[in-house]
Each structure stands twice: as structure tokens, then as C-alpha cells.
């Protein structure tokens, strides 16, 4: 029985369960990639991310072809067309089975349900696999049978569940019978042109590059991760998030590499290794959150009582934040890093998100959407989780009264102003002391908000909301 494998955010050959399990049957596999215009618009998918996907597909097509697996691409305007188009594709290629790897946000779950139901009514077999996480959502429950709300408890249970398992990433799919010649897909025709060559060089595509980054990070930086990870001017983190987001590498491959470097130990051994594994578990936590608390996928706060927070409508301040013109050098440099590279260091994501929500009191949803429109690693679960954490509206979020002061953060995590100087060369001449808060004589714009006043006001507004 021939199988159609629908690729989405799993753009790799190795350790790809849907692809591997289909190939194992040895009866022919066709891989498909579908681009939906409505979906791109609704989820404000960044052009840099779409281009990253395009480049991955270009690398994958000949690799799949070498295994006699044709890659077919299709474009649709609306999400409503997807079930019928997938069915048509399966029928055109005489596939009686449809395999795909699961995606967890509500929109994707509903889409996949609709496709599966439609294909099943026509007699097809449909199978869903889990590749985006090591422990599938829904599997971890506390003593009362409820989903976890606190990360440390989730992490403990996650480790208890995973530690007895043997993490064995799957090999590349098996060679398929050579049935008929197929024409290579015109992948470029599917995507809008994107000409930023510097970003293509900064983020080379492909699973080989993803594995190279993983191994280089594990060999050179893993053991110092907990010491280095908060300094944006240091190369202390893996920069694997774009590759995990498009699925050029799997969390299993990441965890297996860490274990190999840590004598097979999960929660003992190297502090750096445990700390980095902790981040992979945070990633899993947020994937579970979108399934356990699906209303977060509808632009709603996880802690419902925080919906009453009176967010300010201030287009000018929001634009200044987007453009890196807030008058706070670390915030501005971070927002310019995002524009220039499609990526932002984690410490800075927290700083700029807190600044937007707690000092400017602008709705986290605007920041969440802007991030998605710019990020090469845009991932609904991680982005929503990060924004709701920063805004104190999410699960296990920062308590509302613990508000980062962006100038203290700057002095602490960019003490020599090295990071600020990269993105704000106009401040190059300032001393290491002045660069965090330039004097009025420097000509740098003054902060658009009073940090102390706005902090006090936000705490008062949150305390008026009462408890959850
Ligand atoms: C407001 C905000 C928005 C964010 N939006 C995204 C997003 O859209 N996509 C995204 O992948 N991450 C997001 N993050 C999480 C984090 O900032 C990035 O994953 C991290 O900066 C990526 O860099 P790295 O690959 O070098 O990470 P490393 O430090 O090397 O960590 C390894 C991997 O763990 C995962 N990870 C690390 N930290 C987190 C975290 N806090 N939450 C979830 N996963 C994590 C990522 O997949 C990352 O690649 C966001 C965080 C915040 C505060």
C-alpha cells in the first residue's frame, strides 16, 4: 500500500517517524508539502521563516528523490480547501494511506482532524505520529489527573517518564521501489521571492547544518551553558531554535546528543548539560500547554482573570518599540537584532517583552504577533508561552510584581556594552557605565517612559485584578 507523507514542521529525513514508518512498508512513498496563503496571513508567518522553509525543501527534494520518494508541492488559498486537496493528491498518486507528524496548536489540530476525517471517508488509512516532542501532550498528569501548571513539577514528571526509555533516533527513510520517473517540484514557484542573502548566509538550511550546529554546541559550549547563556554578546547558546522550529532537527536528536556528552545522565553530571536539557523541557512544556489549555490558541490569557488588565492603546509607543526607538539602549539594540537577523537572544526576548507589557502597558498579544512576523524561529507554543510568561498572564509566569528593570538587566548581562555597540554604533563612544542609560548630552533619545513610575502603576493595576 503506497503512502502519502504530509510534511509540515518536520523538514528532515533522519528521525522523522511519519517518513520512516511509511518507508519501512517498502510499498512506495510520496512526500507532500502544502502552503496555505490564509494560514500564512492568519499566523503572521515571517518572510524569513518562509524562505528558510523554502530552502529546506530545496535541499530535501533531491535527497528524497535519491530514495525514490517524489516530493510534491501544492499551494492553496484557504484552509477550507486543504482536506480535499490532500485527498486529491493521494488519489492522483494512488496512495491509500496518509501519514503525518502531529502539530499541537488548536488551528493545526482542527486542520488535521478535518483532513483525517475526509480521507477516512474515502477509505484511506490515516496515521499520526509524534515527532515535535519527546513526551506527547496529554501523557503527563499530576496526582489529581490534571495537567501541570508549574514547570518544575512538569519537569520532574517528564524526567521520570523519559529516563527509563532508550532514546534511539530513527535513521533516514528506506529506499523505495523505483516505480516511475517523476519531475522535480518547482519549489521556488510556491514562495514569494526573498532576497536577503545575508540572512540566508546567517541561517544555512538543511538537517546537516542543524546536526553540525548541535554537535559543535555540544562539543564546545554545552558544559558552560549555564554560565554563558544569559549574555547576549557571548556565543553561549546553541542557536538551534530556527532548526527545531522547522523540524530540521528533532528534540530526540538534541536530547540524545546531550546524554552522550553527559555519560548518559539526565539529571546528574554536567551542570551545563542539565541546564540545556532543561530548556528542551521548557520547549516541551509549552507544547503541552497549548493542548491542555487550548484557549491560549484563541488569543486569550491562560490566567483568565488577567483579561481584565487595562492594556494601553498607544500606537506611537508600540511603533517605537518595534523600531528600536524607545530610548533604552538594550531594548533598542535587541529590537534591531530581531530586524537584522530574524532572531533574538532569550534574555533579550524577556527584557523587551517585559518592557512592552509592564512599562509601556501594551497588550502582550501585539508583541506576540510582531515577534511572529519577524522571527525565523517563530513557534506558536514557545512564542505564546514566552509572551504570557513575561506578561504574567500565563502558567508558571513571572509574578506580576517581579518586573525586570531594562537598565539593570543591561548592566548585568551586557556589562561592557558589547552587544549594544553592535546594533547601536551611535553609542560606541560612550563609556561602559554610560552606555546603558546615555546622558541627555549624548544626543540619544530620552526613554519614552518613566521606568519607576510605570513599574509602580503596573503593579497597582495587577494587584487590583485580585487572585486567579
Ligand atoms: C517573549 C518570548 C518569545 C519567544 N518566542 C519563541 C519562538 O517563537 N520560538 C522559539 O523557538 N522560542 C521562543 N522563545 C524561547 C527562547 O527565547 C528561544 O527558544 C531561544 O532564544 C532560542 O535560542 P537558542 O536556540 O540559542 O536556545 P538554547 O538556549 O540553545 O536552547 C535550546 C533550545 O531550547 C528551546 N528553548 C530555549 N529556551 C526556551 C524557552 N524559554 N521556551 C521554549 N523553548 C525554549 C529552544 O527550542 C532552543 O533552541 C521565546 C521566549 C520569549 C521570552
Q: Are 192 and 49 in contact (CB under 8 A)?
A: no
Distance 240 CA to ligand 1 centre (A): 9
Q: Is 266 a catalytic residue?
A: no
Ligand 1 proximity of 280 Cβ (cutoff 6 Å): yes
Q: Which grid cell sits at 332?
A: 533598542
Q: What is the pLDDT of residue 396?
A: 82
Q: What is the pLDDT of residue 467?
A: 67
- C-alpha to C-alpha distance for 90 and 82, rounded to whole angstroms: 12
Ligand 1 proximity of 237 Cβ (cutoff 6 Å): yes
Q: What is the pLDDT of residue 181?
A: 73
- C-alpha to C-alpha distance for 310 and 362, rounded to whole angstroms: 9
> Which ligand 1 atom sits nearest the alpha carbon of residue 280?
34
- C-alpha to C-alpha distance for 332 and 439, rounded to whole angstroms: 16
pLDDT digits (tens, 9 = 90+) for 88-115: 999 999 999 999 999 999 999 999 999 9
- What single DSSP character describes residue 53? H
pLDDT of residue 196 exceeding 90: no
pLDDT digits (tens, 9 = 90+) for 211-259: 999 999 999 999 999 999 999 999 999 999 999 999 999 999 999 999 9
Residue closest by Cα to atom 47 of ligand 1: 241
Q: Helices 315-322 and 364-374 meet at what angle, rounded to 10?
A: 30
Q: Is 387 a catalytic residue?
A: yes
Q: What is the pLDDT of residue 131?
A: 96
Q: What is the pLDDT of residue 397?
A: 79
Nearest Cα to Cα of residue 285 among 99, 464, 432, 151: 151
Q: Helices 271-292 and 151-162 meet at what angle, rounded to 10?
A: 110
- C-alpha to C-alpha distance for 384 and 286, rounded to whole angstroms: 8
Q: What is the pLDDT of residue 195?
A: 81
Distance 343 CA to ligand 1 centre (A): 10
Strands 97-101 and 125-129, bridge-based pairing: parallel
Q: What is the pLDDT of residue 466?
A: 75
Q: What are the distances in angstroms from CA 293 to CA 210, 287, 301, 385?
A: 31, 10, 10, 11
Ligand 1 proximity of 404 Cβ (cutoff 6 Å): no
Sheet holding 97-101, edge to edge: 71-76, 29-36, 3-7, 97-101, 125-129
* Beta-bridge mates of residue 6: 32, 100
Q: Are 258 and 209 in contact (CB under 8 A)?
A: no
Distance 270 CA to ligand 1 centre (A): 21
Distance 378 CA to ligand 1 centre (A): 9
> Which ligand 1 atom sits nearest the alpha carbon of residue 377?
9
Ligand 1 proximity of 238 Cβ (cutoff 6 Å): yes
Ligand 1 proximity of 334 Cβ (cutoff 6 Å): no
Strands 29-36 and 71-76, bridge-based pairing: parallel
Q: Is 263 a catalytic residue?
A: no
Q: Are 248 and 210 in contact (CB under 8 A)?
A: yes
Number of other residues whose CB lies within 10 A of the CB of residue 460: 9
* Candidate of 228, 346, 358, 376 to mutate for ligand 1, largest count of ligand atoms within 8 Å of Cβ: 346
Residue closest by Cα to atom 31 of ligand 1: 279
- C-alpha to C-alpha distance for 28 and 280, rounded to whole angstroms: 34
pLDDT digits (tens, 9 = 90+) for 416-431: 999 999 999 999 999 9
- What single DSSP character describes residue 172? P
Q: What is the dihedral of CA 148, 150, 154, 157, to 10 degrees?
A: -90
Q: What is the mean pLDDT of the chain?
A: 96
Quickly state the pLDDT bin for 204 (edges 50, 70, 90).
Answer: very high
Distance 166 CA to ligand 1 centre (A): 26
How far is C-alpha 248 from the geometric centre of its chain's CA atoms?
12
Ligand 1 proximity of 240 Cβ (cutoff 6 Å): yes
pLDDT digits (tens, 9 = 90+) for 356-381: 999 999 999 999 999 999 999 999 99
Among the listed residues 158, 203, 266, 282, the single catalytic one is: 282
- What single DSSP character describes residue 147? -
Q: Is 346 a catalytic residue?
A: yes
pLDDT digits (tens, 9 = 90+) for 26-77: 999 999 999 999 999 999 999 999 999 999 999 999 999 999 999 999 999 9
Q: Is 146 a catalytic residue?
A: no
Quickly state the pLDDT bin for 468 (edges 50, 70, 90).
Answer: low
pLDDT digits (tens, 9 = 90+) for 292-349: 999 999 999 999 999 999 999 999 999 999 999 999 999 999 999 999 999 999 999 9
Per DSSP (E only), the strands in 295-373 are: none
pLDDT, mean of residues 143-149: 95
Ligand 1 proximity of 341 Cβ (cutoff 6 Å): no
Domains delineated in the chain: 3-129 (3.40.50.620), 132-167+208-292 (1.25.40.80), 304-462 (1.10.579.10)
Residue closest by Cα to atom 43 of ligand 1: 283
Q: Which grid cell sits at 284?
A: 516541551
Q: What is the pLDDT of residue 184?
A: 85
pLDDT digits (tens, 9 = 90+) for 148-167: 999 999 999 999 999 998 88
Distance 131 CA to ligand 1 centre (A): 18
* Beta-bridge mates of residue 7: 33
Among the listed residues 14, 387, 389, 405, the single catalytic one is: 387
Q: Is 265 a catalytic residue?
A: no
Q: How many residues does the chain have?
A: 468
- C-alpha to C-alpha distance for 97 and 99, rounded to whole angstroms: 7
Among the listed residues 84, 265, 271, 311, the single catalytic one is: 311
**173: which residues sit within 8 A by CB, 6+ positions away?**
13, 16, 19, 20, 22, 23, 29, 64, 67, 69
Amino acid at each position: 500500500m503506497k503512502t502519502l507523507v504530509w510534511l509540515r514542521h518536520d523538514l528532515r529525513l533522519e528521525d522523522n517517524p511519519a517518513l520512516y514508518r511509511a518507508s519501512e512498508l517498502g510499498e512506495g512513498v510520496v512526500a507532500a508539502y502544502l502552503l496555505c496563503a490564509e494560514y500564512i496571513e492568519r499566523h503572521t508567518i515571517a518572510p524569513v521563516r518562509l524562505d528558510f522553509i523554502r530552502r529546506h525543501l530545496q535541499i530535501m527534494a533531491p535527497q528524497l528523490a535519491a530514495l525514490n520518494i517524489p516530493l510534491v508541492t501544492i499551494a492553496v488559498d484557504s484552509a477550507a480547501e486543504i482536506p480535499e486537496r490532500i485527498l486529491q493528491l493521494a488519489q492522483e498518486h494512488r496512495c491509500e494511506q496518509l501519514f503525518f507528524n502531529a502539530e499541537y496548536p488548536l488551528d493545526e489540530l482542527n486542520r488535521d482532524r478535518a483532513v483525517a476525517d475526509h480521507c477516512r471517508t474515502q477509505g484511506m488509512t490515516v496515521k499520526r505520529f509524534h515527532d515535535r516532542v519527546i513526551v506527547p501532550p496529554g501523557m503527563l498528569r499530576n496526582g489529581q489527573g490534571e495537567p501541570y501548571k508549574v514547570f518544575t513539577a512538569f519537569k520532574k514528571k517528564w524526567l521520570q517518564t523519559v529516563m527509563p526509555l532508550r532514546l534511539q533516533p530513527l535513521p533516514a527513510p528506506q529506499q523505495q521501489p523505483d516505480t516511475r520517473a517523476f519531475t522535480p517540484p518547482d519549489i521556488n514557484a510556491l514562495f514569494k521571492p526573498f532576497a536577503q542573502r545575508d540572512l540566508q548566509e546567517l541561517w544555512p538550511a538543511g538537517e546537516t547544518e542543524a546536526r553540525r550546529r548541535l554537535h559543535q554546541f555540544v562539543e564546545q559550549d554545552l558544559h558552560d551553558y549555564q554560565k554563558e547563556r544569559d549574555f547576549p554578546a557571548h556565543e553561549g547558546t546553541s542557536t538551534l531554535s530556527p532548526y527545531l522550529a522547522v523540524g530540521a532537527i528533532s528534540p530526540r536528536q538534541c536530547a540524545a546528543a546531550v546524554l552522550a556528552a553527559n555519560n548518559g545522565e539526565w539529571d546528574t553530571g554536567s551542570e551545563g548539560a542539565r541546564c540545556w536539557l532543561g530548556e528542551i523541557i521548557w520547549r516541551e512544556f509549552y507544547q503541552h500547554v497549548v493542548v491542555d489549555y487550548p484557549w491560549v490558541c484563541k488569543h486569550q490569557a491562560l490566567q483568565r482573570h488577567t483579561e481584565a488588565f487595562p492594556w494601553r492603546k498607544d500606537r506611537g509607543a508600540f511603533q517605537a518599540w518595534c523600531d528600536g526607538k524607545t530610548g533604552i539602549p538594550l531594548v533598542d539594540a535587541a529590537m534591531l537584532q530581531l530586524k537584522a537577523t530574524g532572531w533574538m537572544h532569550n534574555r533579550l526576548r524577556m527584557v523587551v517583552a517585559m518592557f512592552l507589557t509592564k512599562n509601556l502597558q501594551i497588550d502582550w498579544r501585539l508583541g506576540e504577533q510582531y515577534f511572529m512576523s519577524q522571527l525565523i524561529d517563530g513557534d506558536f507554543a514557545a512564542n505564546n508561552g514566552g509572551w504570557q510568561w513575561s506578561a504574567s498572564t500565563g502558567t508558571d509566569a513571572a509574578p506580576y510584581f517581579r518586573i525586570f528593570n531594562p537598565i539593570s538587566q543591561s548592566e548585568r548581562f551586557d556589562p561592557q556594552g558589547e552587544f549594544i555597540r553592535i546594533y547601536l554604533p551611535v553609542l560606541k563612544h560612550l563609556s561602559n557605565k554610560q552606555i546603558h542609560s546615555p546622558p541627555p548630552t549624548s544626543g540619544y533619545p530620552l526613554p519614552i517612559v518613566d521606568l519607576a513610575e510605570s513599574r509602580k502603576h503596573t503593579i497597582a493595576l495587577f494587584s487590583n485584578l485580585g487572585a486567579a
